[in-house]
A and B are shown apart, each in its own frame.
Chain A
Amino acid sequence: MIVSQKKPFEEVLGYLDDVETVVLTGCADCASLCKTGGEDEIAELTAALEAEGKKVLASKVLTTSCSLLLNRKELKEIKDEIKAADAVISMACGDGVQTVAKNVKKATYPSNDTMFVGETVRQGVFQEMCKTCGECVLGRTAAICPITRCGKSLLNGACGGSKDGKCEVIPENECAWIEIYEKLKEVGKEAELEAVQPLRDYKDRTYPQTIDLRKQAKKGA
Chain B
Amino acid sequence: MKSKLQQSLEAGKFTITSEMAPPKGTDFSHILSIAEDIKDRVVAANVTDFQSAAVKASSLSMCIELERIGLESVLQMTGRDRNRIAIQGELLSAAHFGVKNLLALTGDHPVVGDNPQAKPVFEFDSVSILQAAVILNGGKDLAGNPLEGTPNFFLGASVTPVFDPIEVQIMKMRSKIAAGAKFFQTQGVYDVETMRELKKQTEGMDCYILAGIIPLKSPGMARYMNNNVPGIRVPEEAIERLSKAENKEEEGIRISGEYIAQLKDEGLCDGVHIMAIGAEENVPKILDVAGL
Contacts and interface: CB of A to CB of B under 8 A. Distances in A.
B230 A161 contact: yes
Closest 3 pairs (CB-CB, A-B):
A160-B160, A156-B127, A163-B230
Interface stretch (A19-27, A70-78, A100-108, A195-203): A195-203
27 contacts: A151-B109, A152-B80, A152-B125, A154-B106, A155-B127, A155-B128, A156-B125, A156-B172, A157-B171, A158-B169, A158-B172, A159-B106, A159-B125, A160-B163, A160-B169, A160-B231, A162-B163, A163-B230, A165-B164, A168-B112, A169-B109, A177-B168, A181-B167, A182-B165, A193-B171, A194-B174, A199-B131
Contacts of A158: 168-169, 172
Interface string A143-177: 00000000111111111111111001100000001
Given A157-B168, A159-B106, A197-B127, 8 more contacts: A153-B122, A161-B109, A163-B230, A168-B108, A177-B168, A178-B168, A199-B84, A199-B124
A111 B271 CA distance: 60
Nearest to A203: B143
B126 interface: yes
B165 A181 contact: yes
Interface in B154-172: 158-160, 163-165, 167-169, 171-172
Contacts of A177: 168
Contacts of A178: 165, 168
B178 interface: yes
A39 interface: no
**Chain B interface extent, by class:** 35 or more
Contacts of A159: 106, 125-126
B142 interface: yes
A191 interface: yes
A153 B109 CA distance: 11
Interface string B206-234: 00000000000000000000000011000
Contacts of B142: 199
B106 A152 contact: yes
Contacts of A86: none
B38 to A, nearest CB: 26
Interface of A: 151-165, 168-169, 177-178, 181-182, 190-191, 193-197, 199-200, 202
Contacts of B122: 152-154
B109 A152 contact: yes
Contact of B131 (A161, A196, A202): A196
Contacts of B174: 194
A157 B172 contact: yes
A199 B179 CA distance: 12
Contacts of B111: 169
B98 interface: no
B125 to A, nearest CB: 5
Interface in B56-80: 80
B187 interface: yes
A152 B105 CA distance: 12
A98 B230 CA distance: 44
A163 to B, nearest CB: 4
B139 interface: no
Nearest to B178: A196
Contact of B120 (A152, A161, A196): A152
Best-surrounded residue of B84, B111, B168, B174 (most CB of chain A within 10 A): B168
A190 B163 contact: no
B36 interface: no
A164 B106 CA distance: 19
Contact of B175 (A163, A169, A196): A196
Contacts of B123: 200, 202
B171 A196 contact: no
A107 B160 CA distance: 55
Contacts of B163: 160, 162
A161 B229 CA distance: 8
Given A152-B125, A196-B179, A202-B123, A191 B109 contact: no
Contacts of B124: 199
Contacts of A200: 123
Contacts of A190: 167, 171
